Structure 1
Amino acid sequence: MKVRVVGAGIVGLACALRLREAGHEVSLVAADRPENTTSAVAAALWYPYRALPEQAVTRWAARTYDVLTGMVDRPGTGVKLRTGRELFRLPTGDPWWAGAVPALKRVPPAGLPPGHADGLEFPAPVVDMRVHLAWLFDRVHALGVDITWGRVQHLADAAADVDAVVNCTGLGARELVHDLTLTPVRGQVVIVEQTGLDGWTLDQSDPRQLTYVVPRTDTIVLGGTAEESDEDRAVRPATASAILRRCSALVPQVAGARILGHRVGLRPARPTVRLEAEEHAGRGVVVHCYGHGGAGVTLSYGCADDVVRLVSERASSGR
């Protein structure tokens, strides 16, 4: 089956990879190169953030967890398994997605920093997106996926010479398929030098001013923000200063770390992830896979498996 994927973020590339591995003839078209997508800005800590529905997200997240942990020992993938803690100001129960992780335990009271009443500890994949996106792009290209750069204005244009189109345009789906349920959620982060930190830390007590410290091999990502309907991609110095203060207070090991850069991205939030197939006259089959909120990396490979299933079902039925 001839399939065209639209979008070259983590979800689009994962879908192209899995479709090609399943034996389909795959092409990809995107307005932005992988390094210029929202995926490239992500701290890329595996965590089901701002993504629903619960049952499907838990399944997609569990599958992606398995795929990413299987890459930990593969050179060039940029994936590490790191144990970290999510901290809470009030006592809390287990998260609804707890079944997606193999190990989840409580932080003992003596291990909680001042001002926190509870905490969870678990191992999670952390992905250096600069490395992983390049690896994924090279893998897709090596498998013979034809890649072109350019903005798709209408799905009919993308469907002109293929049997199916996979829409992985993220926030771009607002214009491409007129989905007004999509909401941009602005995220700003600070990149600092690695100070010998191994574990990640997360505190979502303030849902607009998140605090997270996510170490990579050579850098540490400090965040962040979650500003709804804010599409300003410019770095705000005051926001960066606030991020540095919060992260340094929570994880003193990053205080004074040399700043290497600042990044801003727009998360494609939606009431629920849209992953479904539609039949369109003149466009054949369109599989939509977007609206992953702040969990694009976390759900990517699990969602890609469902995309392959939907496309293959159409192929086997002759539609």
Structure 2
Amino acid sequence: MTKVLVVGAGVIGLSCAVRLAEAGHDVQVVARDLPTETTSSVAAALWYPYLAFPQERVTAWSAASYKEFADLAEIPETGIRVRRGSELLKDPQPDPWWSSAVPSFERLPAPPPPYADGWSFESPVIDMAVYLPWLHARLESLGATVTRHDLPALPDAPLIVNCSGLGARDLAADHSLTPVRGQVVVLEQFGLNEWWIDDNDPERLSYVVPRTHDIVVGGTAQHGDWNRDPDAGTAQTILARAERMVPALAGARVLRHKVGLRPARPTVRLDVERLGDRRIVHCYGHGGAGVTLSWGCATEVTNLITTTT
């Protein structure tokens, strides 16, 4: 049994820790923020590869995660449901590079005006307020622990898995990491079942993601913005764009406003760094696709540790 210290308790850190514990390792998780306090808790958490590269690795990780989430959706306590939805396009485009990861991908024969193209597929929707506590409990049932600790540096331990997200700017001295601010509005659930995405404006990603008890409406993609406070004007713009895409949203009651900072990087970092007798497996920089990539990356992290022991 190998002792592994996982740094970070967002969806990436917890998923890695679960896979490692399942493989028989002695796992401890330390993090500044507990799971429900992390950026992961803000996510609309629709399976959708967004702001994550390189394409080939992201497609493989996404496909592995899709299968895991589809299986977990059979367990009501996970808060996961597979829902059909559509992405709408202003101009005709070829299939997206990640389409091979989706088992039910199809083109829209008649997109609603003013859109000219689009596609539809079934995708897992993960209610993070339910899923993160479930994942935390699953980890503890495997004998692992999660401890709050604000680390000034990566610990001097023999084997570390660094899942610190934006924290890796300091912990791994990686200044290629930048925040991409995402603001969302959470609405009452009035019977909406399908999700919708409009990703035509790189600074103004629009999406409507229904969950069991609410609807997450977004959003923004503000690069380099560290502000975690919701902005009222931005919220109004988000709702106006969403209502143009899904008119049934008009008049829905607003429950709350949230902001999360996506940990963006030119490419996801998933590799092994050796420092003398220490090994650090870095797994961060997942952009807006942390949930989407979580299980695929967790499996690769576990395989890396097993094959380099």
Q: TM-score range by the shorter chain?
A: over 0.9
Q: Give the aligned partner of residue 104 of structure 2.
A: 103
Is 1:280 aligned to residue 281 of structure 2? no
Contact 1:4 1:159 in 2 (8 A): no
| CA displacement at 1:159 relative to structure 2 | 3.3
Deviation at 1:97, TM superposition (A): 0.7
2:151 counterpart residue number: 152
- What SS class does the counterpart of residue 133 from structure 2 fall into? helix
Cα deviations by residue, 1:79-127 (Å, 9 ceiling, x for unpaired): 0000000000000100111110012111112xx2211000100000000
Quick one: which of 289, 292, 300 aligns to 1:295? 289
Matches within 5 A, 1:134-213: 134-155=133-154, 158-160=155-157, 163-213=158-208
Give the distance between the partners of 2:261 and 2:20, measured in 1 at CA: 27
The CA distance in 2 between the partners of 1:255 and 1:92, in whole Å, is 29
d(CA) in 2 for partners of 1:125 and 1:11?
A: 17
**Could you tell me which amino acid in structure 2 is paired with residue 170 of structure 1?**
G
Question: Cα offset for 1:154?
Answer: 1.6
Deviations 1:155-204 (A, max 9, x none): 2xx233xx310000001000111101001000000000001000100001
Aligned length: 308
Q: How much does 1:146 deviate?
A: 2.3
Unaligned runs of 5+ residues in structure 1 are none
Q: CA deviation at 1:297?
A: 0.2
Contact 2:9 2:146 in 1 (8 A): no
Partners of 1:33 and 1:147 in 2: CA distance: 8
Partner of residue 264 from structure 2, selected from 269, 289, 293: 269
Tell me the residue number matched to 1:306.
300
SS of the aligned residue for 1:286 comes to strand
SS of residue in 2 equivalent to 1:308: helix
Could you say which residue in structure 2 is the equivalent of 1:116?
115
User: What amino acid is the match of 1:295?
Assistant: A
Query: d(CA) in 1 for partners of 2:210 and 2:145?
Result: 34
Paired AA for residue 18 in structure 1: R
What does the per-residue CA deviation read over 1:18-38, in whole Å, with 9 as the maximum and x for residues that have no partner? Answer: 000000111110000111101
1:299 deviates by: 0.1
Determine helix, strand or coil for the equivalent of 1:165.
strand
TM-score for both structures, normalised by structure 1: 0.95
Indicate the residue corresponding to 2:226 in structure 1.
231
In the alignment, the residues of structure 2 paired with residue 146 and residue 82 of structure 1 have an alpha-carbon distance, to the nearest angstrom, of 33
- RMSD between aligned residues: 0.8
* CA apart distance, 1:213: 0.3
2:21 and 2:161 mapped to 1: Cα distance?
13
Q: What SS is found at the alignment partner of 1:76?
A: helix
Runs of 4+ in 1 over 4 A off after TM superposition: none
SS in 2 for 1:70: helix
- How many Å separate the matches in 1 of 2:36 and 2:221? 21
In the superposition, the TM-score normalised over structure 2's length comes to: 0.98
The sequence identity of aligned pairs, in percent, is 54
Residues of 2 paired with 1:63 and 1:288: CA distance?
Answer: 19
What is the alpha-carbon distance in structure 1 between the residues aligned to residue 83 and residue 156 of structure 2?
41
Instruction: Name the structure 1 match of 2:40.
Output: 39
Q: Distance in 1 between matches of 2:273 and 2:61?
A: 21
